[in-house]
Amino acid sequence: MPALMKPEHLEAPFSIGCFEFTSTGIELHGEPTRAEAESVFEFVSRAVKYSGFWMVDLIGYIDSREDWREWRDQILSVETGLTAGTVSVYRSIGKSVPPANRVEGLSLSHHRAVAKLDDGEQKEWLHKSKDEGWSSNELKAEVRASSRLNLVKGSARGVQQLEIVLHVSVEAPSYTKAATLASAEVKRLIKTLPGGLILDANIAIVKARK
């Protein structure tokens, strides 16, 4: 069984061929071949692509070790340099999206966007995101829109729908001006309501009877 690599062997600087990796970049010593450059590029690309997921699962394992409680805070803050907020995000992803549900080629932000869904939905949305080439923000918007649509259709258990007519009276020099002011006032009132109360809002302007 090979010996474990000690931490000092991982500290910069270290070299791969002509490429010296320092704490602030890469320095060249000599002229590398194309094959050497391709090898180093592949190494760096994979590290960038996968290291976030490695950290997610390492944090999860360290958290599971009660006998490491005192050492946990030091390794997660001092050694990694991560903020408490970032560690919290990594914890959430690790607990909510297991490795079996993750899709290669998508970022941690993509996986965070589906963290509140069940296993089947996570896989479905992540694969769809990859196929469609969505950014993490686009995936988040699609998931949110789908959730709202399901609520409006009454597919969520225990959801009741009410249609509310809000009357707003506005005086202005012209009907067009009054309609614009009324629409703005309705939108302002909607924003003051608790989040999630309004699932869908259609604003219709009707000319008041004299």
More confident: 25 or 23:
25
Beta bridge mates, 26: 21
Q: What does the pLDDT average to over 124-134?
A: 95
Alpha helices in the chain (DSSP H): 34-64, 69-73, 84-96, 108-113, 119-132, 136-152, 175-191
- Supply the pLDDT for residue 150: 66
Cα–Cα dist 117/139, whole Å: 13
Cα–Cα dist 17/1, whole Å: 26
Sorting pLDDT into bands at 50, 70 and 90, what band is 6?
very low
Mean pLDDT value across the chain: 80
**pLDDT, tens digit (0-9, with 9 covering 90-100), for 155-202:** 545 555 556 666 777 777 877 777 788 778 777 776 666 555 555 555
Phi-psi domain of 10 (left: phi exceeds 0; alpha: psi -120 through 50; beta: other): alpha
- Max CA-CA distance within the chain? 91
**pLDDT, tens digit (0-9, with 9 covering 90-100), for 26-62:** 999 999 999 999 999 988 888 888 889 999 999 999 8
3-class DSSP assignment, residue 6: coil
Sorting pLDDT into bands at 50, 70 and 90, what band is 2?
very low
Q: What does the pLDDT average to over 106-133?
A: 94
Sorting pLDDT into bands at 50, 70 and 90, what band is 129?
very high
DSSP 46-70: HHHHHHHHHHHHHHHHHHH-GGGHH
Q: What is the pTM of this model?
A: 0.60
Cα–Cα dist 161/166, whole Å: 16
Rounded to 5 degrees, φ, ψ at 201 are -130, 125
- Supply the pLDDT for residue 126: 96
- Supply the pLDDT for residue 53: 93
